[in-house]
Structure formats: structure tokens, C-alpha cells
Structure 1
Amino acid sequence: MRNERLAKARHRKNLSQSELAEKLGCSKQAVSNWETGYSNPPLKMAIKLSEILDKDVDYLFGKKVQDSQTKKEVC
């Protein structure tokens, strides 16, 4: 399953995969793999992602319908 929420959140912050990877201290390929659903980030990285993207971890990875940080529902 693709992680469209992660990609959308990254786009909303006007970050490329490379820029996000640099902020996280990982490779662009890792970010791409997470967005395509090929793999999932380790917990520490997921927490960093949520902080950088200003989104709840559970929301980013499809566990919640609503993002508690923005209080917006997903259609």
C-alpha cells in the first residue's frame, strides 16, 4: 500500500524527497521506499518525520482518519 499521506505532507512543506532525507539523516531512497509502501521507517525516524512534517505519526502511516495535530479529517 502506498503511503500517500506521507507524500502529501512532504509536498505541503515544499520539501523534495532529497531535502526531507537530508533533514532526517537518511537516503532519498529510504524516503521513496516509505512513500511507495516498500518499507516502513524505524520508530525513531517516524517520530522525526512527524515533527518535521507537523503531522501525527499514526495519521502519517494510515492508522487514524484524523490528524490530531491539525484536527482535519481525511476524505
Structure 2
Amino acid sequence: MVADNATFHRGGRIQEIIESAGCQLKYLPSYSPELNKIERCWSWLKSQIRQQLIQFDCIRDAMEYVLRLAS
């Protein structure tokens, strides 16, 4: 069983239950957004949208504008 590092995965009886079923519990490494290229893309995209919000009446218009620029 592979689990992330959510606190509810680390406590309680989860490991005991998994091991009693004959399985092993392995945890993913800590979250590192700098290692995930898509996180940088989303960060840039959200930043651009925030900057455009002052020029548009709604977030959808700002999003569409930024997405047109990015494509």
C-alpha cells in the first residue's frame, strides 16, 4: 500500500491493519512542488490571472485572456 504523508495516514491503526492483511505500507516522499514542473506552470498561470483581475469584471474573462496569451 502506498500512502501520502497526510496526518491521518500516519496515525492510528492503519499500518497495523495493512500489515495484518499481509501487505506493506510505504509512504511517498514529502511534497516538493519545486520538483513538479506542472506546479510551476500553475503558479505562473495563477499569478498572471491575479494580475489581470483588475482589468476585467469577472475571473472567467481574466482567465480566458491569460489562456489566450499563453497559447
Q: Which has the larger radius of gyration?
A: 2
Taking structure 1 as the reference length, what is the TM-score of the superposition?
0.22
Taking structure 2 as the reference length, what is the TM-score of the superposition?
0.23
Q: Which has the higher helix share?
A: 2
